[in-house]
């Protein structure tokens, strides 16, 4: 098989990239390890920046998002039972939209056939070849048959554990990592949310987050130590912990119900540089990971793809290489600012096992400062709604 861009991974990054390239008549083909049902069943993030919703609107794939997405004008930080509301609309003029990554993925997969996007599901042993040449290719097993796709470029959208990043020679790349000494235990339940907006809580027993997917479906998280297992957390224990950590004002509004999904995710900050090696481009979790505190993971995948699709379209339409040559630097500029915000909010809102009284005083002082300073709230707000894309790319992504 031959195509112009072979995309590895049918997560948000790969699917968005496939759609944006096809919309510009660039041939692309997506190779995915899992089944369609597995990918569509993943429970992941839930807050979209307008960077991301603009891409869906530009693709004409935002009909369900418009119908079911929940526009949010703010969120709260809770500490010691006090709620500090960050009014993102007042400070930035922009809202965020609560709409599950699961839904985004389903919408993009459903529209793929009508848009001429081939997704090869359940491909195994995916391997990248000759990425440092102008004629790279990808091999894999599909239905027991050995397959090969030749392309001009390879887009590594295969997440943190995929093969693409590992195809960059160790001497050509460097990585930066911080692994946090805790994880997030998440629960999804068909119960009404406890609050109209998200609440991030710092409690002596640890962090908690009250989020949602719809007026009838809630998503909650609690910080847990890395030796905890889901089996240690029957639903009732988790509901009790959420009531304790979210505080006396919120607890009476928490509706309990059976878990539709319950899992523990580790937290890490990670960046791999560069995000391009020869004919290979990395996008999304393949290149970087953020702790979910800042709701940046999905939105960074989208901004990487906004830059990458713009660059690849320019190359195939005009034969220019300015965009692809600038991709890594442009994408990393936004990635590192999002990494900083996610790291800072994680430090502010979690209890670290090795922290002492001084570190706790720093958290109290910072929350006091945020509560009393418009400038501090504006800073948090502009990072939460998403920092602007490079102006020229932003215009094309509207
Ligand atoms: N071959 C083919 N596909 C692969 C391989 C492989 N060897 N390894 C991984 N994949 C697929 C995964 O099955 C997944 O569908 O690549 C896709 C990567 O998707 P994500 O991990 O969702 O990464 P990305 O598209 O960058 O989106 C980032 O997803 O996981 C969340 O928190 C993350 O919200 C963030 C968003
Ligand atoms: C979610 O709803 O899953 C969610 C929301 C905000 C975050 C992280 C996760 O910061």
Ligand nearest to the CA of 301: 1
Q: Is residue 25 part of a domain?
A: yes
What b-and-e string marks burial along 267-299, b requiring 16 or more CB atoms within 10 Å of the CB?
Answer: bebbbbbbbbbbbbbbbbbbbbbbbbbbbbbbb
Q: Is residue 342 part of a domain?
A: yes
Rounded distance from Cα 102 to ligand 2 centre (Å): 12
- Residue 282 φ then ψ, to 5°: -100, 140
**pLDDT at residue 91, rounded to an integer:** 98
Is the minimum distance from the CB of 293 to ligand 2 under 6 angstroms?
Answer: yes
Q: Is residue 192 part of a domain?
A: no
Q: Is residue 260 part of a domain?
A: no
- The distance of Cα 279 from the centroid of its chain, to the nearest Å, equals 24
Marked catalytic residue, from 12, 19, 72, 262: 72
Rounded distance from Cα 307 to ligand 2 centre (Å): 24
- Residue 83 φ then ψ, to 5°: -100, 125
pLDDT per residue of the chain (398 residues) written in tens, 0 to 9: 999 999 999 999 999 999 999 999 999 999 999 999 999 999 999 999 999 999 999 999 999 999 999 999 999 999 987 999 999 999 999 999 999 999 999 999 999 999 999 999 999 999 999 999 999 999 999 999 999 999 999 999 999 999 999 999 999 999 999 999 999 999 999 999 999 999 999 999 999 999 999 999 999 999 999 999 999 999 999 999 999 999 999 999 999 999 999 999 999 999 999 999 999 999 999 999 999 999 999 999 999 999 999 999 999 999 999 999 999 999 999 999 999 999 999 999 999 999 999 999 999 999 999 999 999 999 999 999 999 987 666 766 66
Query: What sign results for the dihedral spanned by CA atoms 376, 379, 383, 384?
Result: positive
The Cα-based distances of 250 to 111, 133, 150, 214, 219 in angstroms read: 40, 58, 56, 18, 15
CB 314 within 8 A of CB 332: no
The Cα-based distances of 52 to 103, 109, 205, 333, 374 in angstroms read: 13, 16, 34, 17, 27
Q: What SS3 state is found at 233? A: coil
Q: Is residue 227 part of a domain?
A: no
Q: What SS3 state is found at 221? A: strand
Q: Which of 211, 342, 380 to mutate to test the pocket of ligand 2 (most atoms within 8 A of CB)?
A: 211
- The distance of Cα 347 from the centroid of its chain, to the nearest Å, equals 19
Q: Is residue 233 part of a domain?
A: no
369 is catalytic: no
Residue 124 CA, closest ligand 1 atom number: 1
200 is catalytic: yes
Concatenated DSSP letters of 255-311: PP--EEEEEEEEEEEEEEE-SEETTEEE-GGGTEE--GGGS-HHHHHHHHHHHHHHH
Supply the DSSP symbol for 230: G
Rounded distance from Cα 386 to ligand 2 centre (Å): 14
Marked catalytic residue, from 193, 292, 307, 350: 292
**pLDDT at residue 10, rounded to an integer:** 98
Give the binding-site residues of ligand 1, using a 6 Å CB cut-off: 8-14, 31-34, 39, 44-45, 101, 123, 126, 157-159, 161-163, 284-285, 297-298, 301
Concatenated DSSP letters of 154-216: EEE---TTSSTGGGS-GGG-EEEEEEEEEEEEEEEESS--SSSS-EEEEETTEEEEEEEEETT
Q: Which of 158, 163, 263 to mutate to test the pocket of ligand 1 (most atoms within 8 A of CB)?
A: 158
Is the minimum distance from the CB of 295 to ligand 2 under 6 angstroms?
Answer: yes
Is the minimum distance from the CB of 46 to ligand 2 under 6 angstroms?
Answer: yes
Q: Is residue 211 part of a domain?
A: no
User: In 10 A of CB 19, how many CB atoms?
Assistant: 26
Residue 308: CATH number of its domain: 3.50.50.60
Q: Whose CA is nearest to atom 27 of ligand 1?
A: 12
Rounded distance from Cα 89 to ligand 1 centre (Å): 31
Marked catalytic residue, from 200, 221, 307, 327: 200
Nearest C-alpha neighbor of 43 from the set 186, 256, 167, 195: 186
Q: Which structural domain range is residue 50 located in?
A: 5-177+268-396
Nearest C-alpha neighbor of 138 from the set 122, 126, 156: 126
CB 304 within 8 A of CB 196: no
Q: How many helices (H) and strands (E) does the chain have?
A: 12, 20
Total tally of structural domains belonging to the chain = 1
Q: Specify which residues 267 forms β-bridges with.
A: none
Nearest C-alpha neighbor of 309 from the set 153, 196, 140: 153
pTM of the predicted structure, to 2 decimals: 0.97
108-114 long-range Cβ contacts below 8 angstroms, 24+ apart: 108/12, 108/15, 108/16, 108/18, 108/19, 108/61, 109/10, 109/15, 109/36, 109/39, 109/40, 111/19, 111/59, 111/61, 112/15, 112/18, 112/19, 112/30
Rounded distance from Cα 87 to ligand 2 centre (Å): 17
Rounded distance from Cα 334 to ligand 2 centre (Å): 20
Q: Is residue 36 part of a domain?
A: yes
292 is catalytic: yes
In terms of Cβ atoms closer than 10 Å to its own Cβ (0-12, 13-18, 19+), residue 257 is: middle
């Amino acid at each position: 098989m031959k195509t112009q861009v072979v995309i590895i991974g049918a997560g948000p990054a790969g699917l968005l990239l496939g759609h944006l390239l096809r919309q510009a008549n660039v041939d692309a083909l997506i190779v995915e390890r899992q089944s369609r049902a597995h990918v569509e069943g993943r429970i992941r993030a839930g807050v979209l920046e307008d960077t991301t919703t603009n891409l869906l609107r530009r693709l004409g794939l935002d009909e369900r998002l418009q119908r079911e997405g929940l526009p949010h004008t703010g969120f709260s930080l809770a500490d010691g039972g006090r709620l500090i509301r960050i009014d993102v609309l007042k400070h930035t003029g922009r809202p965020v939209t609560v709409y599950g990554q699961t839904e985004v993925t389903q919408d993009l997969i459903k529209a793929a056939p009508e848009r001429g996007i081939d997704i090869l599901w359940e491909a195994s042993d995916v391997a990248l070849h000759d990425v440092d040449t102008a004629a790279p290719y990808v091999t894999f097993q599909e239905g027991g048959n050995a397959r090969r796709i030749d392309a001009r470029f390879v887009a590594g959208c295969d997440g943190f554990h995929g093969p693409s990043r590992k195809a960059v020679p160790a001497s050509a790349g460097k990585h930066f990592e911080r692994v946090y000494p805790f994880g997030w235990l998440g629960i999804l339940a068909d119960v009404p949310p406890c609050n109209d907006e998200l609440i991030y809580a710092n409690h002596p027993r640890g962090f908690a987050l009250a989020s949602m997917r719809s007026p009838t479906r809630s998503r909650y998280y609690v910080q847990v130590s890395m030796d905890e297992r889901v089996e240690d957390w029957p639903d009732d224990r988790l509901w009790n912990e959420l009531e304790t950590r979210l505080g006396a004002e919120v607890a009476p509004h928490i509706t309990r119900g059976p878990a539709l999904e319950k899992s523990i995710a580790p937290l890490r900050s990670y960046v791999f540089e560069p995000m391009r090696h020869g004919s290979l481009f990395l996008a999304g979790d393949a290149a970087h990971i953020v702790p979910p505190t800042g709701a940046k993971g999905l939105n960074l995948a989208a901004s990487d793809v906004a830059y990458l699709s713009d660059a690849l379209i320019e190359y195939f339409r005009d034969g220019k290489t300015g965009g692809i040559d600038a991709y890594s630097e442009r994408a990393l500029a936004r990635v590192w600012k999002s990494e900083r915000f996610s790291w800072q909010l994680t430090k502010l809102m979690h209890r670290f096992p090795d922290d002492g009284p001084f570190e706790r005083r720093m958290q109290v002082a910072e929350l006091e400062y945020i509560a009393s300073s418009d400038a501090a709230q504006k800073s948090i707000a502009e990072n939460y709604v998403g920092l602007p894309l490079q102006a020229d790319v932003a215009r094309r992504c509207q």
